[in-house]
């Protein structure tokens, strides 16, 4: 069907769909996300009491950071890792430098 066959509202619908799908339909999450999930699940199984703080810590850390590019995002993520699991070992590392 050509665009001439469409009413303007259908055309608008199609344009919006195309614009979003051209930009986002082909995107895939990088494999590092699954590696991070697996790592955090292992930590959670070791220290389950720390898991409940995932969400708030994640968002707080992201929001506290200024707008960033890719390099800053990486460093932010490493910092974020420290916030995610305030288990005993992490706390001791932070507090006492063990």
Partner 1 sequence: MAVHHPDGPLILRLREGDVDALGELYEKYKTSIYRTALAITRDRGAAEDILQECFLRLFTHAHRMRTDVPLHPWLYRVAVNLSYTWVKRQRRRQEGTFDGVLEGLVASLHLLPEQWVEQQETWEAIRQAITQLPLGHRVVVVLFYLEELSLKEIAEILGIPEGTVKSRLHYARRFLKGALEGRLPVAGVVYEFT
Residues that bind partner 1 (CB under 8 A): 3, 7-9, 11-13, 15-30, 32-34, 36-38, 40-41, 44-45, 51-52, 54-55, 58-59, 62-63, 67-70, 73, 76-77, 80
In the complex, the smallest distance separating the C-beta of residue 97 from partner 1, rounded to whole angstroms, is 28
Torsion of CA 71, 86, 94, 69, to 10 degrees: 10
Cβ proximity to partner 1: between 10 and 92 the closer is: 10
Burial class (CB in 10 A: 0-12, 13-18, 19+), 21: exposed
């Amino acid at each position: 069907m050509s665009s001439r066959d469409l009413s303007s509202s259908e055309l608008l619908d199609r344009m919006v769909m195309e614009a979003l799908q051209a930009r986002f339909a082909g995107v895939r999450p990088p494999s590092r996300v699954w590696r991070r999930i697996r790592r955090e699940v292992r930590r959670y199984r070791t220290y389950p009491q720390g898991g409940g703080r995932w969400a708030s810590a994640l968002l707080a850390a992201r929001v506290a950071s200024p707008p960033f590019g890719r390099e800053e995002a990486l460093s932010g993520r490493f910092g974020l890792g420290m916030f995610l699991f305030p288990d005993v070992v992490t706390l001791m590392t932070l507090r006492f430098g063990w």
